[in-house]
Amino acid sequence: MKLTSKRWIILIASCFINLCIGSIYAWSVFAAPMAKYLSGITGQKLTPGALAIVFTVANSVGPITMISGGRINDLFGPKKVIFVGGILFGGGMILSGFAKSLGFLTLAYGIITGLGIGMIYGCTISNSIKFFPDKRGLVGGVTTAAYGFSSVLVPPIANILINNVGVTSAFKIIGTAFLVIVCVSSFFIEKCPVNFVPDGWTPPVQSQSKAGSNDRDWKGMLSSPIFYVMISMLICGAFAGLMCTSQASPIAQKMIGMSTAAATTVVSVLALFNTAGRIVAGYISDKIGRVNTLAAAFVFSIVGLILLYLSGQGDVAQFCIGISILGVCFGSLMGVFPGFTADQFGPKNNSVNYGIMFIGFALAGYFGPTVMKNVYAADNSYQRAFLIAAALGMAGFILTFVYRFVNQKEKNCNIAA
């Protein structure tokens, strides 16, 4: 089978894999029942906020295996990396079902599952982008959308399992299913040949003249000022999304007064708009450019965060609109950045380069939930956290103009050289 046709099978398999590992976004559904379960065992009063450290660690360790796994992927291909990652990911979730303490849960779900996610995520996205140089933004959006769409599917399934068999058994069942799906799907993944060009597509003249000239390894990327502007944009944009994603269910219940079932629906709605944002923004970014798409996402995220701040008095409509806008904007950021990184530093080393860029996501994954938890502890309210995130959104918008300036300056220097 020709690779031009086979690449679609590889893309579909990658999406199935990302659909599994994206269940990390459904953490807030597990947080409350797991906090109650551990409180009963340990005798300590644990809250969902106290368990936010588990989600934080899972996001923080991802770049470790994204970078190391990305290097292996670039050398030998993604199949083995994804297979091993699937064992770590599914095994970590299964082990979470045996947790008797917050420390063990952090090890199982936070570290082991998080390392598995990092190993898989970088491979599926970078490899897919290499197979689709003609649709880089769209494919980056689709593969990351599958990751986000998991939060639409997993919360109701997890809720049913938690209510019927308990939270620990839910971890074991879901973990086993995901381990099997990821490992089996890995056999449908192939490494993209160097300089692959699909049948019927001719690279733009500009790309041909620069063929390979913009391919930088991680050292070349880190030597460029543009990298630091881009990773700062990623931190600013991901901060709000991860802050709210990690605590979506508790926010809906404590701030708005929703029931557990309604709050679970909010998690799914957030994930649905997150998913839509990834696909739409990925497609649009192919048309109007990555940085223009990111600038628009920052503006709308500020609007969404202001609505969330104003909804603090119990306004359900404002809350739902605000969380939906934020979901779209967070999804837009995550959908655009894989292609953005490949455009800027070349597709050849994108597995490692995007893994390093993803450190920005990890930092946001640490500081976002931490700020949310600390603000609630200090104010007994989430509202001030939304203002902090809005300020970072404004900083991200300003950075899009800094990027344009620095990028143009670097181009001028290259021409002069």
Scan for tokens 């049913």, then name that residue: 160
**Whether pLDDT at 1 is above 80:** no
**Whether pLDDT at 200 is above 60:** yes
Residue 151 domain-assigned? yes
**Whether pLDDT at 13 is above 90:** yes
The winner for highest mean pLDDT among 148-157, 206-215, 365-374, 395-404 is 395-404
Measure the CA–CA gap between 143 and 412, rounded to whole angstroms: 34
pLDDT single digits (tens) 293-339? 999 999 999 999 999 999 977 788 899 999 999 999 999 998 899 88
| Nearest in space to 89 (alpha carbons), one of 205, 189, 6, 171 | 171
How many C-beta atoms lie closer than 10 Å to residue 233's C-beta?
Answer: 27
Residue 207 domain-assigned? no
Q: Rg of the Cα trace of the chain?
A: 21
Measure the CA–CA gap between 122 and 218, rounded to whole angstroms: 15
pTM strictly above 0.95: no
Whether residue 59 contacts residue 362, with contact meaning beta carbons closer than 8 Å, is answered with yes
Q: What is the pLDDT of residue 275?
A: 86
Instruction: Give the pLDDT band of residue 205 (cuts 50, 70, 90).
Output: low
- In the chain, DSSP finds a helix count (H) and a strand count (E) of 18, 0
**Whether pLDDT at 383 is above 70:** yes
- CA dihedral (284, 152, 90, 244) in degrees, to 10, reads 80
CA distances from 336 to 246, 277, 379 (A): 21, 10, 35
Residue 146 domain-assigned? yes
Could you please report the per-residue DSSP string of 142-185? Answer: HHHHHHHHHHHHHHHHHHHHHHHH-HHHHHHHHHHHHHHHHHHH
> Structure tokens of 134?
């003609």
> Structure tokens of 210?
């620069």
Measure the CA–CA gap between 363 and 371, rounded to whole angstroms: 12
Residue 345 domain-assigned? yes
Residue 247 domain-assigned? yes
Helix (H, G, I), strand (E, B) or coil at 44: coil
Measure the CA–CA gap between 359 and 170, rounded to whole angstroms: 30
Residue 213 domain-assigned? no
Range of the domain at 176: 3-192+221-416
Task: Read off the pLDDT of each residue in 117-121 and give the average, rounded to a whole number.
Answer: 90
Q: What is the pLDDT of residue 203?
A: 78
- CA dihedral (289, 290, 295, 301) in degrees, to 10, reads 130
100: phi then psi, degrees, rounded to nearest 5 = -120, 0
| Nearest in space to 32 (alpha carbons), one of 52, 48, 16, 50 | 48
CATH of the domain at 345: 1.20.1250.20
Instruction: Give the pLDDT band of residue 207 (cuts 50, 70, 90).
Output: very low
Based on the structure, what is the number of domains in the chain?
1
Residue 212 domain-assigned? no
Task: Read off the pLDDT of each residue in 105-112 and give the average, rounded to a whole number.
Answer: 96
| Nearest in space to 130 (alpha carbons), one of 77, 69, 195, 45 | 195
